[in-house]
Structure 1
Amino acid sequence: MEDLLQVGVITTTHGVRGEVKVFPTTDDANRFKKLKEVILDTGKEQLPLEIAQVKFFKNLVILKFKGIDNINDIEKYKGKSLYVTREHAVKLKKDEYFIADLIGMRAVTEEGEELGTIKDVLQTGANDVYIIKKDGEDELLVPAIKDCVKNVDIEGGVMTLHLLEGLRDINKK
């Protein structure tokens, strides 16, 4: 399991006083209001940054960090990711999982057939869709619904799925 979970990516600066525009990679951008600190991955190190102010503009979050008061101090971090530790992450409800914990997980059928590895999760309006890849085969797309997802074992790294009638056929090219 990942210790750090991505919550956003710095897209550009905002003004000259050290504020940045952040594209949120979390389900709810309002969670930034409750965050006191984020971790900036510079590519060389991880810098903890204390959040001094949070504003919203369209689909972006505008953050001001304590101690960074100049555009020149923050401009070099454009395109860098912001993370939170697992302990500061949103509390999950029953049957909710962090995407970072699902990617790389083995996918098997109820009968034990190996389907492949979860490579990505598409977030659609209705429900998420798991992209499963097995060497030498087309990707398999499985909706993240109760009818299909029978068990998720985060510690064991295995998701047990029930493939609805015709699901394999839909995924064929």
Structure 2
Amino acid sequence: MSAPQSDLICVGAIAGSYGVRGEVRLKSFCAQPEEIETYSPLTNEDGSQSYSIALTRAVKGGFCGRIAGVETKEQADALKGLRLFTSRDQLPTLPSDEYYHADLIGVEVFDTGGVLLGTVKSVQNHGASDLLELMGEDLKGTVFLPFTLAAVPTVDLEQGRIIADPPEGLF
């Protein structure tokens, strides 16, 4: 079942146990959160462990669910923090203007004049819209670039680069 890491996409995480009968609290990173169940069985990060998941109900901040073989609160507690992955070929094909966060990490970002601004360290979202967290030698710290069409007109994953037109004063 093991797949190369780049072929695995993180679709959720276990937030801890729920109740005393072995149920887990589950955070879904899917666009339609309940769809995480359709990708079951999910794996750990290196693909060495498999987890069959069934959602039982929605709870604040996620879902309550059962994992095959987990019967006690202690077993569920032991899985807290586990990130859950599925293989890329299980996921739907995205429209041309949407990207999986995993595909953006590590991509170099250039300005419209071809000057390297930095590399994407992570994709953050604090409520309004996605932000590309950039790091680079010439940056004093990390810079958060709004991931909007105005600020990021071109994403060329085949060439491994992003062209940005950052707001004035960001760099």
Same fold, TM-score > 0.5, yes or no: yes
The partner residue of 1:149 within 134, 138, 152 is 152
TM-score (norm 2): 0.82
Partner of 2:19: 15
The percentage of counterpart residues that share the same residue type is: 26
Report deviation, 1:158: 0.7
Q: Give secondary structure in 2 for the equivalent of 1:31.
A: helix
Count of matched residue positions in the alignment of Structure 1 and Structure 2: 166
**Following superposition, which runs of at least 4 residues in structure 1 exceed 4 angstroms of deviation?**
none
Q: Which amino acid aligns with 2:152?
A: V
Q: Give secondary structure in 2 for the equivalent of 1:100.
A: helix
| 2:158 maps to 1:161 | no
Distance 2:105 2:127 in 1: 20
Partner of 1:128: 130
Taking only aligned residues, the RMSD between alpha carbons, in angstroms, comes to 2.4
- Unaligned stretches of 5+ residues in structure 2: none
Distance 1:141 1:67 in 2: 42
Q: Which amino acid aligns with 2:42?
A: V
Partner of 1:34: 38
TM-score (norm 1): 0.81
Q: Cα deviation per residue 1:51-104 (whole Å; 9 max; x = unaligned)?
A: 234421011211212333333443322221111111222442221001111111
Distance 1:124 1:68 in 2: 33
8 A Cα contact 1:33 1:54, kept in partner: no
The partner residue of 1:82 within 81, 84, 89 is 84
Q: Cα deviation per residue 1:95-136 (whole Å; 9 max; x = unaligned)?
A: 100111111110012221111111122214332121222214
Structure 1's 150 and 157: CA in aligned 2 closer, same or farther, altered over 3 A?
Answer: same
Structure 1's 141 and 68: CA in aligned 2 closer, same or farther, altered over 3 A?
Answer: closer
Partner of 1:117: 119
- Unaligned stretches of 5+ residues in structure 1: none
| Higher-strand-fraction structure | 1
Partner of 1:24: 28
Distance 1:72 1:141 in 2: 39
